[in-house]
Amino acid sequence: MDFEDIKDWVYDNYQLAYVVGTGVLALGVWALWPGKRSLGALLGGYAAVLGIGASWEPCVDVGSSVYGKVLARGGASELKIALTFDDGPHPENTPLILGTLARLNVKATFFCVGENVKKYPDLVKRIKDEGHLLGSHTLSHRNLLSCTWGETKRQIGGGIEALSSVLGEEPVYFRPPYGMRYPWSMWESERLAQRAVLWSNCPRDWQLPGAEVIACRVIRRAQAGDIVLLHDGGGDRRQTAQALPKIVETLRERGFSFVRVDELEAQND
């Protein structure tokens, strides 16, 4: 197992990694502490750190609705999957991905960054005209965990406003960058009638591991109701576009169909 394998395991098992890592750190500190070492103090300190981590965990867990309702997957009654693309629109990646989706006859969902929407309004219109769903991905892709309350409002509201000015209507769906959010981030999105969408299947295409690896990661984890996190912005996304045919064709052979997020959510009603 190399370092990349370890990183992948930590990403897929971050809760267990946190528990184990905290325990190893606590034992190391205890072993080096001068004077009397108390097992009770060690266990108490370990429990306190785990408690702090547990209070933060819903801020970063993409499936947690503790601090506000999120849609991370659809129902399991039908073999449906939603492909989603973040960080665009991008002048090269987005047309490439749109062309691939058109050839595959797949409708998807695009979470757009407001600043990119302002730069490439014609691409936003094309996404809509080709039957895809658009949602907001904040104004400038700031991590909301690093934002003040005022900046949080500016980010969420600015992303909505950018899309509204191009589409003539407000988006309904919102995805916080990196999936991270404080309770007040969720309160603000709910106040603005935005439905927070996270994901259940993440092939980490930003690592640029190759189209074959991206496709295999999606296929290996695929379950009914999955929301798949992919990207059309934020870097070179040719591998993502190249992975799409294998993803779609393989999962269709297994009985899956591909839908937009709003259609996936509808099966929960």
Query: What is the chain's length?
Result: 269
Q: Which of 102, 141, 128 has the alpha carbon at shortest distance from 234?
A: 141
The CA-based angle 160-162-163, given to 5 degrees, is 70
Residue 86 annotated as catalytic: yes
Which of 205, 226, 231, 232 does the annotation list as catalytic?
231
User: Which residue type, as a one-letter code, is found at position 247?
Assistant: I
For the record, the structure tokens of 142 come out as 């700031």
The CA-based angle 171-175-179, given to 5 degrees, is 175
Side-chain-facing half-sphere of 84: CA atoms under 13 Å: 31
What ranges make up the beta strands (E) of the chain? 70-71, 80-86, 109-112, 133-136, 173-174, 195-197, 227-231, 257-259
Q: How many CB atoms lie within 10 A of CB 256?
A: 20
Residues 185 and 176: beta-carbon distance below 8 Å: yes
User: Which residue type, as a one-letter code, is found at position 128?
Assistant: K
In 3-state terms the chain splits into helix, strand, coil percentages (rounded to 5) of: 55, 10, 35
User: How far is residue 192's CA from residue 111's CA, in Å, rounded to a whole number?
Assistant: 16
Which of 61, 86, 87, 232 does the annotation list as catalytic?
86
Residue 90 annotated as catalytic: no
Residues 111 and 105: beta-carbon distance below 8 Å: no
Question: Catalytic residue positions?
Answer: 86, 231
